[in-house]
A and B are shown apart, each in its own frame.
Chain A
Amino acid sequence: MKKFISQIALFALMTTIFIGGINLVTAILIKKKASFKLADNIDKVVIGHSHSESAYNDSLITGMLNIAQSGESYFYSYYKIKELIKQNANLKYIFLEFSNNQLEEERDTWIWGEETIAFRYPIYSPFIDNEGYQLLLQKDFGGVLNLQVKSLMKNAKAVVAKNYDYLKKTGGYVYLIRDKTDSLLAASSNTKKTAPANTKLADYNLNYLDKIIALCKRQNVALILIRSPMHQKVFNLIDEQKFKEVRTSRFNSVEFLDFKNFSLADHEFGDFSHLNYRGAKKYSSFLNGLLEKGLLLNPNKQQLIDSAMNKWQNTVQSSVGN
């Protein structure tokens, strides 16, 4: 029995040292060499989940890079922003998606949920700090343990191939072709759905938004919360009243730009929450126009946006009328 126990212990120890050792070395190397370096002409980035990933065609917006990624929670955005700020003195503005569904409790699972963690952890593992690890281990100890080999493989591959371009790995504009709005409209009932009153908030996700806000404040980078356009038929578990309540009570110190009601035709949406490439083209050009008009220096930004959106809507309507 003694021999059995000692052999098992020795094998377990060697395995741990092997996996842990390679993981540690590759993580240190990646942390040192990972590039989040923006081009010199970029001073604005947009970060968030799939809404922003498909809405901001950064080739149409001067000085902006879209590094949003589907299913990204504020937890992973925090570590991305941390590295971005560290490596880019020219970064002045961070546009961070702040839409209704990011407040829903379900979004917490975007931090540790089985599918999300399997994809994101191997990429972000070198950048996550102790506090982040504590949370992940507390929520999915087995998942983190299982993913050690996956992140070892991923990191080792990056080190061997000298592929340290983490801007590409952690996001980018997605040219969305789909156009499902018509079928969704046909399938949706005429009766208006009401959001349940007791929808809980994504406490962990929002805690990391707090951390992002504090980080940007410390580093003197302007953080702007932004809500991308959504179809008027979109249903949110967090309704407008609750959304406003959370934003004003908890995040009032941060600038918020609301483009939710930006007028687009049905065929310019991929679905009720995402713009397709047509919508992204129009919206990005519109935003670029606003930025060129000095939106970011204007003290009444939302007013400027609202009046520009009204003008835009009138132009669209009159062109449809003609």
Chain B
Amino acid sequence: MLFNSLNFTIFLPIVFILYWFVTKKNLRLQNILLLVASYFFYASWDWRFLFLLIFSTLLDYFTGLKMSEAKNKARKKFWFWLSVLVNLGFLGVFKYYNFFITSFAEAIENIGLHVNPWTIKVILPVGISFYTFHGLSYVIDIYNDKIKAEKNFIDYSVFVSFFPLLVAGPIERATHLLPQIQKERVFDYSKAIDGLRQILWGLFKKIVIADQCSKYANWAFDNSDSTSGSNLVLGALFFTFQIYCDFSGYSDIALGTARLFGIELLRNFAFPYFSRDIAEFWRRWHISLSTWFRDYLYIPLGGSKGGMWMKVRNTFIIFLVSGFWHGANWTFIIWGLLNALYIMPSIIFKTNRTNLDIVAQGKYFPTLKELLSIILTFSLTVFAWIFFRAESVGDALNYISGIVTTSLFTFPTIGPPLLFILLFIFLVIEWMEREQQFAIARLGLKWPKLFRWGAYLCILLAIFYFAGSKQEFIYFQF
């Protein structure tokens, strides 16, 4: 069930009404309802995946309890590793097995031997990377005595499978979400309205910007052999906006939906394309994943405590793992590697925490230096996205070599003027509201109601106008 589908438009109000009216604000009933709704939501993709989700939930729930009850460190360690290995095992089998086995076979062939790798035909369960990371953060936190194991199975299951975040995050932490699930929720009018605004903006980003950009980005990547360098540059730019609006649009809908149920999820994006350096970009892009890797990989590896070499090594590790997390393809690994290289100068010269504030805070325009930094950072990310989007490293290299030709200086022929106008309006709104949680969080709040509603209606009309074929969100595949 896609967020941008009619099914979800029916599903959401039904769950909302049952949640606030039928359960009569009984916390236990509300959580049971959320769990049933979440399982229904997940099963609507493929009911067979539900067994995997339930198994993963049971595994982490029981190992969590066992760790809490363990009388000695060794026992605790045993349950911890059991959970980690089974979780990663599932992820490995479903997501990475074929990649490893075929890469191994190719490597063997390079030294003159021939093997017939045994690959498996299996569909990647939707959201497996996300709920596996939910579960892992939970067991790691218990192991490190940061939290106590949750005894209430329903509450824990809602934490893992709460439908707004189930298939593409944000990747939540037990310390943040579980207390909210266990606390009585009171309906808050302003939060609910805020949630609806965020859903509206998420849908706008997904349907009006991402889906429209995707047509031309796909065209450019499919015709990279035969089209001009200028078209390829535009294609890469369209993909840059597509991936941002697709994923952050999803996150906006997820956060907005959760807010309707009185639950606050972690913020996942903070206007990353206005970043002044790559370190800032990574503090603003897919925040829940970056912080996950920081807390559960970078810091346990020693973080920045062991001197420069350790810092550089650990940075490379988290970016490579982050790239690999996105998919079993060398393209993602190269993408991760590129980002590690981009961030390296700021790690070495210790400038990675220079830009912690919001760019041009309180001003309409950035300074020239800020503008140039934003353009440079943006260009670097556009270049890295080429690898992320390409089917193979070879395709990415062909794409780049297609750009570096004299045809780069010809007039591009892809993308209708309307799309450029929409992108301009979108960027202006995002820039104006970059100090808020999302772009239309405060837009028009001080206007007369008629104008404010008029603005919402315009956004809604644009969504309906461009809502043609329902396209899946890119991050579902991860």
A: residues with CB less than 8 A from B are 1, 3-4, 7-8, 11, 14-15, 18-19, 114-115, 118, 141-142, 145-146, 148-150, 153
B: residues with CB less than 8 A from A are 5-6, 20, 187, 189, 192-193, 196, 453, 456-457, 460-461, 464-465, 467-469
* Least CB distance, A44 to chain B, in whole angstroms: 36
Q: A1 vs B468: C-alpha distance in the bound complex, in angstroms?
A: 33
* Least CB distance, B14 to chain A, in whole angstroms: 14
List residues of chain B with CB within 8 A of the CB of A142.
5-6
* Least CB distance, A13 to chain B, in whole angstroms: 11
List residues of chain A with CB within 8 A of the CB of B469.
114-115, 118
List residues of chain B with CB within 8 A of the CB of A4.
187, 189, 192-193
**Within the complex, which residue of B189, B196, B453 is in contact with A3, where a contact is CB–CB below 8 Å?**
B189
Having A11-B456, A146-B464, one finds 8 other A-B pairs with CB under 8 Å, namely A1-B20, A1-B187, A3-B189, A7-B193, A11-B453, A15-B457, A19-B461, A115-B469
* Least CB distance, B262 to chain A, in whole angstroms: 11
Closest to B465 in A: A149
List residues of chain B with CB within 8 A of the CB of A114.
468-469
**A11, A141, A146: most-surrounded residue (chain B CB, <10 A):** A146
Across the interface, do A146 and B453 meet the contact criterion of CB distance under 8 Å? no
List residues of chain B with CB within 8 A of the CB of A148.
464
**Interface CB pairs A-B, < 8 A, 11:** A1-B20, A4-B187, A4-B189, A14-B453, A15-B460, A19-B461, A142-B5, A142-B6, A146-B468, A149-B461, A150-B465
List residues of chain B with CB within 8 A of the CB of A14.
453, 457
List residues of chain B with CB within 8 A of the CB of A146.
464, 467-468
Q: A3 vs B192: C-alpha distance in the bound complex, in angstroms?
A: 11
Across the interface, do B457 and A150 meet the contact criterion of CB distance under 8 Å? no
* Least CB distance, A10 to chain B, in whole angstroms: 9
List residues of chain A with CB within 8 A of the CB of B196.
8
List residues of chain A with CB within 8 A of the CB of B457.
14-15, 18
* Least CB distance, B452 to chain A, in whole angstroms: 10
Q: A142 vs B5: C-alpha distance in the bound complex, in angstroms?
A: 8
List residues of chain B with CB within 8 A of the CB of A18.
457
Q: A142 vs B469: C-alpha distance in the bound complex, in angstroms?
A: 11
* Least CB distance, A153 to chain B, in whole angstroms: 6
Closest to B468 in A: A118
Q: A221 vs B358: C-alpha distance in the bound complex, in angstroms?
A: 72
**Within the complex, which residue of A15, A115, A153 is in contact with B465, where a contact is CB–CB below 8 Å?**
A153
Q: A153 vs B467: C-alpha distance in the bound complex, in angstroms?
A: 14
Closest to B21 in A: A1
Closest to A149 in B: B464
Closest to B13 in A: A8
Q: A158 vs B352: C-alpha distance in the bound complex, in angstroms?
A: 56
